[in-house]
Amino acid sequence: MTSDNHFPLDRDPLGAFLPGPRAKVPPLGIGPLNGLRVAVKDNFDLEGLVTGAGNPDFAASQQPARAHAEAVLRLLRAGASVVGKTITDELAYSLNGRNFHFGAPANPEAPGRICGGSSCGSASAVAGGLCDVALGTDTGGSVRVPASYCGLYGLRPTHDRIPLSGVVPLATSFDTVGWFAREPDTLEKVGEVLLGQDSRAFSFRRLLIAEDALEQAVPAAQSRFTPLIQALERRLAPAELLRPGDPEGLAFWGDCFRILQGREIRRAHGGWLDSAQPRFGEEIAERLAWTATLTDAQEAECAAQRAQLTARLVESLGDDGLLLLPSAPDAAPPLDADLPSQRDHRLRVLALTAFAGHAGLPQISLPLLRVDGCPLGLSLIAPAGADRALLAFARSFASADPTA
């Protein structure tokens, strides 16, 4: 279930964990995760500790948690131990993985490049062998994107499949608990504990290609998908080409996501933001200020559009379809990218990640591609509730030689 570590577990050469003494919690039971070492993103509660959500001013406004977050508790009761809290982008409101206060965790699979966010420390710790698995959250791609950039397996589950109790909210109709692993069997093993059973049996028979999403990938990446698509066709059926973002276009759906997310952020944190006037890094401060400008009319229009997109995706997938798309448009950007480049990067990524977010569907990122020597994930979206079936399919596909 685990692999050889790249670094000793009590060191942090990557800057993945919060500064200071490491938060450690022993197992609370014996079970299928015995011996598994878990890192936890700093927007999950650990009993007796302050949850900082990546921002010192937010941490200063909180009391120590009275209990572990439900997802953490499930892992501990199954035999896992917590080996530390990992750095997150502030309030989990970024896809870049550069924390203004704590720095940018290193990407051991793509040195000199970002890990992606907001679950940056979790992805870094797993990729560097500092733990076996790490919890993150995924609202707009915060597990899928770091998994892609760090060469990891990562799952965003069906919305509301895993309780969010004890997790700092960002945008509640999009927030999910996700996790990372280096091996597909470890990812699946954790899913058995966190997810429970699927509500019914799912059997995937059809492969759908999000043609418009594939076109968003850089040319060097697009060609890498061909042998993997062929391998999936051998397992399923000849691919059906879809353009799920049409007629509005992918950018429209990313913008729609941003507006709905922004309104929900104001509902969750607006009072504290206005009264405490906390300090944020420039990228996140800029967007938090923007959320205060959004209107009821914008939210209503985007909610109506979201419902239409969800209906289209649900109908296309049916009970037996898998939708393929890139996890991100390119390999991880460089650490020294300027702020305009960071803004552009986020918009390009959200154009891809918004589909599963809008529709509340499970999406897995598989580390099966490389571009310019760096990881890039292949994503599969499944019908709502088919999380365990998706994990099993992904493990079977990735454990074999996909292109054989």
In a domain, 155, yes or no: yes
Q: What is the mean pLDDT of residues 9-21?
A: 90
Query: Is residue 194 a contact partner of residue 177, using CB atoms and an 8 Å limit?
Result: yes
pLDDT of residue 286: 95
Q: State CA 272 to chain mean position distance.
A: 26
Q: Where are the alpha helices (DSSP H) in 41-116?
A: 56-60, 70-77
Mean pLDDT across the stretch 391-396?
98
Range of the domain at 185: 8-404
Tokens 């944190």 found at: 269
Instruction: Yes or no: say if 85 and 46 are a contact pair by the CB < 8 Å rule.
Output: yes
Three-state DSSP class for 99?
A: strand
The mean of the pLDDT values for the chain is 95
- Give the tens place of pLDDT for each residue, 331-355: 999 999 898 988 888 999 999 999 9
The tokens for 347 are 């918009």
Those residues whose C-beta lies under 8 Å from the C-beta of residue 21, and which sit 6 or more positions away, are none
In-domain check, residue 2: no
Model confidence at 179: pLDDT above 80 = yes
Is the Cβ–Cβ distance between 42 and 85 less than 8 Å? yes
pLDDT value at residue 342: 86
We report the CATH number of the domain holding residue 260 as: 3.90.1300.10
Contact 306, 256 (CB under 8 A): yes
Report pLDDT for 33: 98
Task: Give the catalytic positions in this structure.
Answer: 41, 118, 142
Q: Indicate the helix (H) or strand (E) that contains 326.
A: strand 321-326
Calculate mean pLDDT across residues 151-175.
98
Query: When comparing pLDDT for 3 and 391, which is higher?
Result: 391
User: What is the pLDDT confidence band of residue 2, given thresholds at 50, 70 and 90?
Assistant: very low
Whether the pLDDT of residue 9 is over 80: the answer is no
pLDDT at 148 exceeding the cut of 90: yes
Q: What are phi and psi of 65, to 5 degrees?
A: -65, 140
Task: Decide the pairing of beta strands 133-138 and 81-86.
Answer: unpaired
**Residue 197 placed within a domain:** yes
Residue 21: both structure tokens together: 């003494």
Give which of 244, 253, 276, 335 is closest to 55, Cα–Cα: 276
Q: Does the pLDDT at position 278 exceed 50?
A: yes
Residues in the chain: 404
Distance CA 146, CA 219 (A): 21
Predicted confidence band at 311 (pLDDT cuts at 50, 70, 90)?
Answer: very high
Split at pLDDT 50, 70, 90, the class of 88 is: very high
3 part of a folded domain: no
Phi-psi region of 133 (alpha: psi -120 to 50; beta: other; left: phi over 0): beta
How many Cα atoms within 13 Å fall on the side-chain side of residue 370?
6
Structure tokens at 57: 């001013």
Query: What would the mean pLDDT of 89-94 be, rounded to a whole number?
Result: 98
CA–CA gap between residue 379 and residue 331 (Å, rounded): 14
pLDDT in tens, 320-330: 999 999 999 99
- Cα dist. 296→125, 256, 274, 303 in Å? 40, 13, 19, 10
Residue 1: inside a domain, yes or no? no
DSSP 8-state secondary structure symbol assigned to residue 74: H
> Per-residue pLDDT averaged across 288-308, rounded?
98
Query: Residue for token digits 């062929």?
Result: 230
Q: Phi-psi category of 283—alpha, beta or left, where left has phi over 0 and alpha has psi -120 to 50? A: alpha
What tens digit of pLDDT does each residue of 16-75 get?
A: 999 999 999 999 999 999 999 999 999 999 999 999 999 999 999 999 999 999 999 999
Does residue 7 carry a pLDDT above 70?
Answer: no
In this structure, how many other beta carbons lie within 10 angstroms of the beta carbon of residue 222? 15
| pLDDT, mean of residues 151-168 | 98
Grouping H, G, I as helix, E, B as strand and the rest as coil, residue 134 is: strand
The total number of structural domains that make up the chain: 1
* Mean of pLDDT values over 230-238: 97
Provide mean pLDDT across the span 159-176: 98
Q: Is the pLDDT of residue 3 over 60?
A: no
Whether the per-residue pLDDT at 250 is higher than 80: the answer is yes
Please compute Rg for the chain using Cα positions.
19
- Which letter does DSSP use for residue 51 in this model? -
Has residue 403 got a pLDDT over 70?
Answer: no
Cα torsion for 174, 140, 200, 211, to the nearest 10°? Answer: 130
CA distance 26 to 224: 42
Give the separation between CA 71 and CA 84, rounded to whole angstroms.
15
Cα angle 62-63-65, degrees, rounded to a multiple of 5: 110
pLDDT tier for residue 5 given thresholds of 50, 70 and 90: very low
